[in-house]
Structure 1
Amino acid sequence: MDTVFATASGRGKAGVTVVRISGPRAWAVVESLAGALPAPRVASLRKLRDRKGDYLDEALVLTFAEGASFTGEQSAELHIHGSMATLAALSRELSEFEGLRLAEPGEFTRRALENGRLDLTQVEALGDLIEAETESQRRQALRVLDGELGRKTEAWRRDLIRAAALIEATIDFADEDVPTDVTPEVLELLTRVQAELEREIAGSFAAERVRDGFEVAIIGPPNAGKSTLLNAFAGRDAAITSDIAGTTRDIVEVRMDLGGLAVTMLDTAGLRSTEDRVEALGIERAIDRARKADLRVFLDVEGEGVDLSPEAGDLVVRAKADLNPPASTDVIGVSGKSGEGVGQLLRMIEERLSTRATSAASAVKERHRVAMTRTVSSLTEATRIVEGESDFAELGAEHIRIALRTLDALIGRVDVENVLDEIFSSFCLGK
């Protein structure tokens, strides 16, 4: 296997730049540059010189033994001064070593996967952690990176292996007197795993929203103050506002951090009947996007309705409360222009979305959900066969084996080559 190198810190001028080297020749390369190697995991200051003896830089050198590094390979890090010229000089020198090449994007992490240092769900979580913009995204990515989903999967696998072994024992010793009926234990194992998988599937939708961000659509008739409210949320003029009905014809989006959650606010076209084809298209898109949103905020204007009804959990508030205050204290009034009720409305939105986020599971991607759903289908069929006390015990065991292979694919043990390129394509060079 080649030894590879790349910067493991951000690009551009910096106080310190970290260059990572990983592979069978990592220590030999560093020894050639820095002289005597420090003990593994002990930082040591060294002068780096090229093979002509010319001084390259003074660097902090760290080495990691095989099996005790991020990649699982023999590796090293050079913490050099972060000028572009210093990095360029070191990179030129490293490129001259035989068997040493620049790492491809995500190659260090891919080697960690291949060497069993990370499972596939942890690899995905590492990518999510790098991309995290909010506190909730950071915490969720760290939880999965710590191996939470992998540990759950291993527990499910142990139970299913036990269930399959019990069934196969009855097959292998069918002609002998087997004193114990294995059916109750097998059913208990299958039922428990299936119930836990179904809970994880249900929570995966919330986890996916935490990862990708929630969407909140602002709904109302024309001139209800939707764009002004969006601008108040954003703290800037994100949407054009005017007194002319139908000003907003396309959906305007504002991304924001709301209580540690990534939230996209959607300013939609005013909902009304119109003969204007362009405005009608905007209204059609607004209704479609609003229905798909995680939460809708309806701006109520007395005497005017919209062709969309609030769902459970949606918010209905009185629009332009500075001009038309609500008659009842039970109704919240908001005004993007004066700021009245804006803070209260944001807190209510945050409360509703935070409540949904608390149900987030360890599974955060569609790939995870699909694998677990397929596992549940196999277990459902296996349970049906076992409960029926049929003569097709081999078939029940085979459905359990299919469930096991699906779980293995979930954590990257088998049948994942078709998804690896897509996953690692989002990684930066040096990771």
Structure 2
Amino acid sequence: MGAETIFALASGGTPSGVAVVRVSGPGTRFGLETLIDSVPEPRRASLRSIHTVTGDPIDRGLVLFFPGPASFTGEDVAELHLHGGRAVVAATLDALGGLPGFRAAEAGEFTRRAFDSGRLDLSQVEGLADLVAAETEAQRRQALRQAGGGLRAVCEGWRERLVRARALLEAELDFPDEDDVPGSVADSAWADVGALSAEIGALLDDGHRGERLRDGIEVVVLGRPNAGKSSLINALARRDVAIVSEEPGTTRDLIEVRLDLGGYPVTVVDTAGLREAGGGVEREGMRRATARAEGADLVLLLEDVTAAPAAIVLPAASPVIRVGTKIDLIDSAEERSRISAGYDLVVAPTTGDGLDALMTALTNFAGDALAVGESSLVTRARQRSALVGCRAALEDALDDIGKPLELRAEDLRRATDALGRVTGRVDVEDLLDVIFGEFCIGK
């Protein structure tokens, strides 16, 4: 636990209707006695006057006190709910900073103290970070499940079973001649170890959907110059994010738009038009477009239905939806029908024709790619790597039954350590600064 008392603005930037200043640490009671003259009744909002050390009034607001260890950080915690003016918040922070043993909190430091006190494990910390960053409903649900201890509960159950299996092995190793420790005592452990390995394998066999939901899927828009890529991006974003011009080569860099489609996060990327001519900067734009498409979840290949068709080399790994654009420029209904048959979809970004069908197609694709069931608890590559290491160690212990029991017991120890890394029980010090650095000041 921290020897210093930390404080920070825990709500959004000022000005705002209400600003919340959070305090945590051993000096919290002293701070309340100094700035509001007393410590309020725990967990009850009290209307108090907040003043400086010299008694100059700052504001009048609600004050809450949460005595440790039953608080977010496990320490004494206070919250000052103030009017959200810049001057009010600045004066309050200045007053707290002038108290002995008080200092401004660093990014993620409140959550770090919650981890250090055992109030949260590492998977819950990561879930909390994801909850703060969640942009869509599906991301929110997944992050809330993680922050609520979904993965922790599963891992702790597995850990208890591993510890029991190791205890049975150690009993046979240490007391082979004791009557109450029969020689076959370890046999009862191996069946559960095998079942445990299968359960971990089932959790990992989810197509990386948890990680993909955190990051969202990426849709790259490719096409020749003036195929309507930027117009489509603007229509999807419902604002002008890309320059639209008849001049070829207008778009030279990648332009990203974040969308929420059916609760799933989707990034649509506008790219430079693909053609053989062009200067050095435009060629670099085309190179980036091709490279981005190679790693995309989906490619939208746009073709101007009023222009002569042109071949474009597409990435082999990414699924492609062929979209005919500028269909509104075709007057004949019969000709429109004939042209439409040659594409997966046809759109007219400037008029909105076909955009609903395109959005539906993107939403369905995102849903199929990212739909997360209750078993998809692995949301980060770090968690997956630790579980893969755990299962590999379990399989090492199970595969070679002729190996000395001491070595098989060592395999189970390695499995336990790897499992502990998921929740932060062992060997995660090098990761902590990175993980807690994801948080904003005041969290």
Larger mean CA deviation between 419-428 and 346-355 belongs to 419-428
- Structure 1 counterpart of 2:139: 137
- Structure 2 counterpart of 1:308: 314
Number of equivalenced pairs: 428
TM-superposed CA distance for 1:348, in Å, is: 0.9
Task: Give me the whole-angstrom Cα distance separating, in 2, the residues matched to 1:53 and 1:242.
Answer: 63
- Structure 1 counterpart of 2:371: 358
- Structure 1 counterpart of 2:83: 81
Letter in 2 for 1:357: L
Task: Give me the whole-angstrom Cα distance separating, in 1, the residues matched to 2:18 and 2:359.
Answer: 41
Closer, same or farther in 2 for the Cα pair 1:52/1:225, shift >3 Å? closer
Letter in 1 for 2:114: A
Task: Give me the whole-angstrom Cα distance separating, in 2, the residues matched to 1:49 and 1:251.
Answer: 51
Task: Give me the whole-angstrom Cα distance separating, in 2, the residues matched to 1:231 and 1:71.
Answer: 45
Seq. identity, %: 45
- Structure 2 counterpart of 1:368: 383
Task: Give me the whole-angstrom Cα distance separating, in 2, the residues matched to 1:309 and 1:96.
Answer: 60
- Structure 1 counterpart of 2:121: 119
- Structure 2 counterpart of 1:381: 396
Task: Give me the whole-angstrom Cα distance separating, in 2, the residues matched to 1:217 and 1:68.
Answer: 48
TM-score (structure 1 length as normaliser): 0.89
Larger mean CA deviation between 333-342 and 401-410 belongs to 333-342
Task: Give me the whole-angstrom Cα distance separating, in 2, the residues matched to 1:89 and 1:248.
Answer: 48
- Structure 1 counterpart of 2:412: 400
Of residues 423, 426, 430, the one that matches 2:435 is: 423
- Structure 2 counterpart of 1:104: 106
Contact preservation (8 Å) 2:28, 2:78: yes
Letter in 1 for 2:65: T
Trace 1:149-164 onto structure 2 (pairs within 5 A).
149-164=151-166
- Structure 2 counterpart of 1:349: 362
Of residues 286, 291, 296, the one that matches 2:294 is: 291
Task: Give me the whole-angstrom Cα distance separating, in 2, the residues matched to 1:370 and 1:296.
Answer: 29
- Structure 2 counterpart of 1:260: 263
Closer, same or farther in 2 for the Cα pair 1:371/1:78, shift >3 Å? same
Contact preservation (8 Å) 1:221, 1:271: yes
Q: CA RMSD in A?
A: 2.8
Three-state SS of the structure 1 residue aligned to 2:285 is helix
Closer, same or farther in 2 for the Cα pair 1:306/1:110, shift >3 Å? same
Contact preservation (8 Å) 2:293, 2:315: no
Task: Give me the whole-angstrom Cα distance separating, in 2, the residues matched to 1:231 and 1:337.
Answer: 9
- Structure 2 counterpart of 1:224: 227
TM-score (structure 2 length as normaliser): 0.86
Contact preservation (8 Å) 1:326, 1:333: no
TM-superposed CA distance for 1:293, in Å, is: 0.7
Cα displacement string for residues 92-140 of structure 1 (whole angstroms, at most 9, x for unaligned residues)? 3323322222222222111111101111122222222222222222222
Trace 1:21-32 onto structure 2 (pairs within 5 A).
21-32=23-34
Closer, same or farther in 2 for the Cα pair 1:41/1:352, shift >3 Å? same
Closer, same or farther in 2 for the Cα pair 1:228/1:93, shift >3 Å? closer
- Structure 1 counterpart of 2:350: 337
Larger mean CA deviation between 171-180 and 395-404 belongs to 171-180
**Are 2:211 and 1:208 aligned?**
yes
Contact preservation (8 Å) 1:313, 1:352: no
**Are 2:256 and 1:250 aligned?**
no
Larger mean CA deviation between 375-384 and 293-302 belongs to 293-302
- Structure 1 counterpart of 2:336: 325
Closer, same or farther in 2 for the Cα pair 1:104/1:244, shift >3 Å? closer
Closer, same or farther in 2 for the Cα pair 1:21/1:307, shift >3 Å? same
Task: List alignment gaps of at least 5 residues for structure 2.
Answer: none
Three-state SS of the structure 2 residue aligned to 1:404 is helix
Three-state SS of the structure 2 residue aligned to 1:160 is helix
Contact preservation (8 Å) 1:212, 1:262: yes
TM-superposed CA distance for 1:77, in Å, is: 1.7
Three-state SS of the structure 2 residue aligned to 1:209 is helix
